[in-house]
Amino acid sequence: MSNQKILVVDDDIAIRRLIWKSLQSTGILIYQSDSIEKTLDIMTRVTFDMFLLDISLEYENDGYHLAQLIREQQPLTPIIFISGKKSESDIISGLETGADYYITKPFSPNILRAQIIGTLERMKTIQSQKTNKNDRVIEIGDFKFDKNLYQLEKKGQLIPLSSKEVQLMLFFMENPNQVFSKEQIYANVWNDGEMDNNLIMVYISYLRNKIEDESKKPRYLKTVWGIGYTFSPDGQ
């Protein structure tokens, strides 16, 4: 885990110290910021493996804006929101702006530590896989997925995805026309503890909004009632 870098962005120094303390034995390098301006400045000099963001910085929703700016520069780098905002709408907004996880305050330092380590390890595994370039491109039906660039195209048009959406879409493209239960999807894409039905439904909805012609009438990512979901790359 050594030499991996995390940027913690929170205007509460006590929270930043708590996160630093919980991770100091891992070898992860912890950088700190308390504003959008400082964060963007640090990012010009350092490439990070993960961002931990609060939503309320100088202004109420600065964290949402910052997540969008980060996604423009580093579309696959994991983002975790750690926020005192606990409503369902706040959590959904956080995920929709590109965060991979949303943790509410107060939080368990040990659980946060496990979440960070697990996420970094999975990203490291994905990035370290070495195969021939031809084996790194999946072309099936209307879709093309480049594993080298982590890019998805539909009928030649690039579709931007968050890091978790990338993992979910890759899972479906590697297993087309198969029916998977929510439990199977969670085990293969998240694999980090007790299954969260709502989380799966949220990300299925995100993917449909991006790959379907009409998200409410899905042709590609279909619900198999009483079982789970299936991906039909031809839209049949």
pLDDT of residue 150: 87
Asked if 168 contacts 203 with a C-beta cutoff of 8 angstroms, the reply is: yes
Q: Is residue 236 part of a domain?
A: no
Q: Please tell me whether residues 33 and 101 are part of one structural domain.
A: yes
| Distance between CA atoms of residues 186 and 168, nearest Å | 9
What would the pLDDT profile of 146-195 be if each residue is shown by its tens digit?
A: 988 889 999 999 999 988 899 999 999 999 888 999 888 988 888 776 77
Q: Is residue 41 part of a domain?
A: yes
pLDDT of residue 133: 47
pLDDT of residue 79: 92
Task: Determine the structural domain holding residue 26 and report its residue range.
Answer: 5-128
Of 97, 128, 159, the one marking the end of a domain is 128
Q: Is residue 156 part of a domain?
A: yes
Count structural domains, the chain: 2
pTM score, whole prediction: 0.56
Does residue 131 have a pLDDT over 50?
no
Q: Please tell me whether residues 107 and 140 are part of one structural domain.
A: no
Q: Please tell me whether residues 118 and 139 are part of one structural domain.
A: no
Query: To 5 degrees, how large is the angle CA 5–CA 103–CA 221?
Result: 95
> Can you tell me the mean pLDDT for 2-24?
88
Q: Please tell me whether residues 52 and 121 are part of one structural domain.
A: yes
